[in-house]
Amino acid sequence: MNSPKEQDCVLLTLTKDNKIERVRHCTHSDDKLRDYFDAIIAKFKNDFYAMKDIWVLKMVFTDKSRIPDIAIMDQYETLQKLLRNPQLYGIKEHKAFLVHDLDFCSLHGFDPLSYEGAHEKIAKRIGVYAYTDDFRAIRTDRGVHVFTSDETGDHAIENCLSYYEGHFFSTKRGTDRFDLITVRPIDQIPQGILNPFADTVDWNTAPLDLPDDFFCKGVTMLELTEKKIDMLPTVSNYWSFSHENEISDISSSTDVYDYCCLIGICEGDIQRPDMIEGEWYESFSLENRFDDLLEELDDCDDNIERENVSSRIKKLAAKILTEEFADFRYCREPEKIEEQLQQIQTPETEDFQENSNKPKMKI
């Protein structure tokens, strides 16, 4: 009978240039991990800049005997070898930590191994996105866009967000994932792949059709998640994407703005296309298409007439959505769906459903 394979956990402390400064083997125990974290914090406690640059990499091996020799101050070779072929070495999982985050957890009583101690949660509490000098990036289903931490990178990532804003509701958006991340490459990133969107982009090109050199593929990288953006194509998610993305406040493109206004009319959130208020304060370019109906609405004498004209306004908005925005798609807000379900689940409806499901007697 074969004896069970002994798992092992290896912790590497990485300097800014990815040199392995410290190696620690320990059993896959949370207490042992926390002890190691405390030792690292103590070493860099008085060096704020080092704490931002030092990463700790945790790797769990399914078989202790398959762990290669890891030399201190080894630069790229070991990490490249392990992370390019994790299955070859039996690496079950690997996760990166920032020493700055470990120190933050220690000061505020958070467990660095818990959800509350995750980098994403800490970044939100601090209110600062990407506070290291590493590369910023956006992970999509097609790959990762990588940006430098300088003025050129700032311009490129803002252009990237504006580009995806214009395609938020597109059927060819090409991704349901949009994670803001910080990455530390273990391999060299080809220069031509950095800072996509820095130059002029054909905004009519859908994300699904972007060329491959807009994505950083085949490069081994460690990453920290800064923020996961909900890409379910609802109007509220679009608003959050444009104005709560932690990077830049994005102006709405005309087509997307008109699309959101039409949705609001169909859903009954916007009563009059000529009096759009609240967050949708910009000009609705299709307003004149509703002029005749709005005149009828103003001439109505009672609520029945007003309801009739309002219904026709909604139908016109729905017609425009169907005919002129065929390449767009949206989902209703989850709370609206829930509200509708609660309205239709009346006792009478439930009784009817219950009776209709009963087997009928043969006569």
Statement: residue 137 has pLDDT above 70: yes
Alpha-carbon distance 158 to 197, whole Å?
9
Statement: residue 307 has pLDDT above 60: yes
Least confident stretch, 48-52, 109-113, 288-292, 315-319: 48-52
Statement: residue 345 has pLDDT above 90: no
Average pLDDT over residues 182-205: 87
- Its pTM stands at 0.84
Alpha-carbon distance 89 to 64, whole Å?
10
- pLDDT-based confidence at 75, cuts 50/70/90? low
Token pair of 243 as six digits: 């104005």
pLDDT tens figures, 77-120: 778 888 888 988 899 999 999 999 999 999 999 999 999 999 99
Alpha-carbon distance 337 to 334, whole Å?
5
Q: Of 314 and 127, which is predicted with more confidence?
A: 314
Identify the residue whose tokens are 């709560």: 244
Statement: residue 290 has pLDDT above 50: yes
Least confident stretch, 5-9, 204-208, 314-318, 356-360: 356-360
Phi, psi at residue 35, to the nearest 5°? -60, -40
Least confident stretch, 68-82, 98-112, 303-317: 68-82
pLDDT tens figures, 31-67: 888 889 999 999 888 887 788 889 999 999 988 888 8
Residue 73 is predicted with a pLDDT of 55
- pLDDT-based confidence at 6, cuts 50/70/90? low
Residue 2 is predicted with a pLDDT of 53
Q: What is the amino acid identity at position 36? A: Y
Strand 8-14 to 20-26 pairing: antiparallel
Average pLDDT over residues 267-287: 79
Alpha-carbon distance 322 to 329, whole Å?
10
Alpha-carbon distance 16 to 243, whole Å?
32
Alpha-carbon distance 41 to 56, whole Å?
11
Q: What is the amino acid identity at position 230? A: D
